[in-house]
Structure 1
Amino acid sequence: MRKTKKIIIIGGGIGGAATALALNRAGFDVSIYERAQELREVGAGIALWANATHVLNELGLLEDAVRNGCLTTNYQFLTENGKELVNVSVDKFELPVIGIHRADLHKILCSQVASKFTLGQTFERFEQDGAKVSVDMKSGLHDEGDALIGADGLKSQVRAALFGESPPIYRNFTTWRGLTNYIPNQYRPGYIHEFLGRGKGFGFMMLGNNRMYWYAADKTKQGQKHELEVMFQNWFSAIPELIAATDKANIIQTDLYDRVPTRPWGTGNITLLGDAAHPMLPTLGQGACMALEDALVITKCLQESDNITKAFEHYELQRFPRVKSIVEQSLRSGRMGELENPIAVKLRNQFMKLMGSAIADSFTSFHSFRA
C-alpha cells in the first residue's frame, strides 16, 4: 500500500488554498502555513473567467461561486468620455464568467480545508534531505514533509530562499480598488465597463450581494500619492460618482509589479505556484485565474507520478508556456494604457475599434483553456 505523501504549502491565499483543497481531495496529506493571524483574503473584486470557473467546477465549488458572485456577460472598452470602442461577449462558453469578491472566493476555497491551516506563521528557511524537505518558521515551529510548494505571493520568501533576493519590476502604474453599494444609472447588468484615457484607466463591475467593484490605474512614479477625485473629475459621469460614493476605508492603493517569466520554478521536491512563480499585471484579469489553474495542474501531476521531482518538473513544463504568454500579453496591454500623447491615444482607440474581432478572439483563446 502506497504511503500518503505530505505536502507543505507556504501561503494560504487563493492559490495556496485552492492547491490545498485540490490535493486534499486527491488524498494527499496537506499542511498550509500562513503568516496572517486570521483566515481572510484582503482586496476587492476579481473576474473569474471560464478557464477559472472550470477549475472551480472540477473542485465541486462552481455552484457556491455562482451563488456568491454575479454573472458577467460582456467586457466593454470605452473612451474616458464613454464612447464605446469594443464590446466583447464573454458568455459563449460552457462555463460562466463570474464577478466575485476575493474574500468570498477565499472563504469558499478554505471552507473544506480550514483545519489544514496554521496561522500567524512566517516562513524562514527550508532544508532538503533526500526525498524529504523540512521547513522552519520564525516562531520556531518546525515541520517535515515530502514536498514544499511556495504559494506566498509576489514577494515570496520561498522563492528568495531558492534563488536569492530579486525584487519584482515596477511597471509604472499604481492602482486603486474600491467597493461600494452605489450602482450608477449607466451601469449595464452583466457588464464590465472599462474606460481608457491618457495614461489612466478606470473600470467597474458588479460582484455578488449587490456590491459594485471599481478599479483605477494611473501612470506614475513608484509610491506617489494622488487625489482620485481630481484625476477623474472630467471623465464619464459614473466614474466620479463611484469614487465619491466609496468610503475611503474601502479603497486600496497598490503599485503594480511583475517579473520577467523565467525557469526553473524550483528544485527537486520544492516548487512555486501563482504569483510566487509568475506574477503578472492585472490588465487581463488573469492573476487569480492562473493560480487556480496551477492548483489543478500540480495536483494532477502529483497524482500521475509517484516521483515528486518528476511531477514538479512536469507541472512546470505544462504551465510555463501558458503563463509566460499571459504575463507578456498583460505587460503589452499595460503599455497600451501608458500612452499619454493625444495623437497616440487617438490612434490606439481607432486601432481598438478596427481590431474588435481580433480582441474578441484573444479573449476566447485565453478563456477556452481547460487545465
Structure 2
Amino acid sequence: MKIGIIGGGITGLTAALALRKSGITSVVYEQAVELNEIGAGIWLQPNAIKVLDWLGLKGEIQKQGIELNKMEITNNQLIPIKKIKSEVVQDEDGNRTIAIHRARLQKILYNEVLKSNEVHLNKKYIHHSFSSDSINLQFEDGEDSVDILLGADGIDSSVRKALFPNSPLRNSGQVCWRGISKMNLPDSLKSLGQEAWGKQIRFGFSQIAKEEVYWFAVANVEHLKKVDGLDRKKFITKLFESFSPIINELIANTESTNIHQAILHDLKRLPDWYQSKMCLIGDAAHATTPNMGQGACQGIEDAFYISKYLSKSPQNVQGAFEEFQLKRREKVDYVVNTSWQFGKMAHSTIGQPIMKLLMKMTPDSVINSQMNKLYAIDK
C-alpha cells in the first residue's frame, strides 16, 4: 500500500512519520522548491507533544525550543487578568507547551522523514485521475501514482478544491502580524507565553530560543485604514505604543522585512473530509483561526489518528476514513468554533469585558478540566 501525501508542512511530515511507525509506506509531495517556513513561532501544546513524543522527537524539540511554565492573558502592561497555576499548560503526564520556530520544527520533522521516506520537492499538485485501483497524480512537473491520497496542503488546499469545490473560507475581519525579535526576554518572562489585551488589539509573545522571541499582533482590519503611508513596522509600533515597554522593544528589535501580515480566516465546516480513497487532514480539512493556538496541534493529532485507522483497516480504506472522521469531528468542531468565538469576543467592546470577568470567576479546577480534555490523546 503506497500512500501519497500532498503537502510537506507540519501536518504532512508528521503524517508520514506516523504512518511509518504503523508500518505503512508513504511519499510526500511538496510544491516548494525548498522547505522554508515563514519567520514565525509556534506553541506546541501537550496534545501535540504527546504525538511527537510517540514519534521519538520530543527530546530534540525540547532542545531546540523553550518549554513554557505558564500561559497568561494580561492587560496591556502585562499584569495578568487572572493568576493561574502552571498546571494549565501541562497535561496529566507533565507534558508542557513548547515554543519553537516553525522552520526549526519543520526541519526536525523533515530530517526524520528522510531517514526512510521519500520527499519530493517542487511538486505542485495540479489534478488527479483514477485508473483501476490507483490514483494518478499530475504535477506541474511530472506525475506519479499512489493507492491512497492524503491532502495535507493547508488552508488553501488544492486537493480540497478538487474534491469539494464549494468549500469557502470564512473571513474573521481581523489582521495578524507575526515576527521574530532578536533579543532575550527578562528572566521573569523567559518561560512564559503571554497575550496582552488592549482595546480591540492583542499582542502575544514568548521566547523560542536564545536571543529569539516570537511575537504576534492582532487587530480588527479597520485599523489598516489608518496606516496613512506608514511602513508596516512603524504602523505596528504606533498601534501598540501604549503597551508595555517590553512589547515596544520586541517590535523595535524585529527587522521590518521579516514582519508577515495576513488576514485571519478559517474554513467553513465541510460535511465530509474524504471521498473514495482520498482524505483531507489538518488545515485542508478544518482550518481554524489561531486564537487557541491549536491549528498545527490538531493537524498533528490528525496524523496520529489517520495512521491508527489505516493500519487497523488496510483493506477497508473508506471505512478507515469514516472512523477517522467520526473520532476527530467533535474535538475539531469544538476547536474551530471556540477559537472563532474567542477572537470575536476579544475584539468586541462588549465581549472583552465579559471574557475578562469570566476568566476571573472560573475556578482553576474547571480550567484544568477543560485543558485536559483538549490535551487528551488515545494511548
Unaligned runs of 5+ in 1: none
| Conservation of the 8 A alpha-carbon contact between 1:49 and 1:96 | yes
2:337 to 321, 328, 332: 328
- Letter of the aligned partner of 1:76 in structure 2? E
Matched, 1:105 2:98: no
Q: CA–CA distance in 1 between the matches of 2:299 and 2:156?
A: 15
Q: Which runs of 4+ in 1 moved over 6 A?
A: none
Letter in 2 for 1:40: N
Once the two structures are TM-superposed, the CA of residue 362 in structure 1 deviates from its matched residue by 2.5
Note if contact 2:203-2:215 (Cα within 8 Å) is conserved in structure 1: yes
- 1:16 aligns with 12
Task: Calculate percent identity across the aligned residue pairs.
Answer: 32
Which residue is equivalent to 1:122?
A: 124
Cα distance per residue 1:274-309 (max 9 Å; x no partner): 000000010000001001100010001111002212
Report whether the alignment pairs 1:300 with 2:308: yes
> CA, structure 1 residues 24+206, in 2 after alignment: closer, same or farther (shift >3 Å)?
same
Post-superposition offset of 1:356: 5.2
In the other structure, the counterpart of 2:195 is: 194
Which residue of structure 1 aligns with residue 144 of structure 2?
A: 143
Deviations 1:124-148 (A, max 9, x none): 1111345321111122x11111100
2:167–2:267 Cα contact (<8 Å) kept: no
Q: Does 1:77 align with 2:85?
A: no
Q: Which residue of 2 aligns with 1:351?
A: 358
Instruction: Give the counterpart letter for 1:309 in structure 2.
Output: Q
Instruction: Return the alpha-carbon distance in structure 2 between the equivalents of residues 42 and 243 of structure 1.
Output: 17
Q: CA deviation at 1:350?
A: 2.7
Count how many residue pairs are aligned between Structure 1 and Structure 2.
Answer: 364
Which deviates more from structure 2 when the two are superposed, residues 289-298 or residues 309-318? 309-318
Q: How far did 1:261 drift?
A: 2.3
CA contact (8 A) 1:86 1:356 kept: no
In structure 2, what residue type is equivalent to 1:93? E
- Determine the C-alpha separation between the residues in 2 that align with 1:311 and 1:291: 17
Match of 2:112, SS state, is coil
Q: Which residue of 2 aligns with 1:276?
A: 284
- Using the size of structure 2 for normalisation, the TM-score is 0.90
Tell me how far 1:150 sits from its aligned partner.
0.5
Compute the displacement of 1:12 (Å).
0.5
Any idea what SS the aligned residue of 1:110 has?
helix
**Which residue does the alignment assign to 1:57?**
53
Q: Answer yes or no: is the 8 Å Cα contact 2:291–2:343 preserved in 1.
A: yes
CA distance in 1 between counterparts of 2:135 and 2:43 reads 36
1:155 maps to amino acid: D
Once the two structures are overlaid, the 10-residue window that deviates more, 350-359 or 10-19, is 350-359
Letter in 1 for 2:113: V
In structure 2, what is the Cα distance between the partners aligned to 1:166 and 1:51?
Answer: 28
Q: Following the alignment from structure 2 to structure 1, what is the Cα–Cα distance between the partners of residues 295 and 45?
A: 11
Q: Which residue type is aligned with residue 204 of structure 1?
A: F
Q: Which runs of 5+ in 2 are unaligned?
A: none
User: Structure 2: how far apart are the matches of 1:368 and 1:319?
Assistant: 12
The 3-state SS of whatever aligns with 1:214 is: strand
Q: Tell me, yes or no, if the aligned pair for 1:69 and 1:209 is still in contact at 8 Å.
A: no
How far apart are 1:189 and its partner, in Å? Answer: 2.9
- The more displaced of 10-19 and 83-92 is 83-92
1:76 Cα offset (Å): 1.0
Query: Structure 1 residue 235: deviation in Å?
Result: 1.1
- Match status 1:311 vs 2:311: no
Provide the rounded CA distance (Å) in 2 between the counterparts of 1:259 and 1:222: 24
Q: Distance in 2 between matches of 1:122 and 1:68?
A: 30
Matching residue within 44, 69, 88 for 2:40? 44
Deviation of the 1:113 alpha carbon: 2.0
Pairing partner for 1:31 from 27, 30, 55: 27
In 2, distance between residues paired with 1:198 and 1:145?
A: 51
Root mean square deviation, CA, Å: 2.0
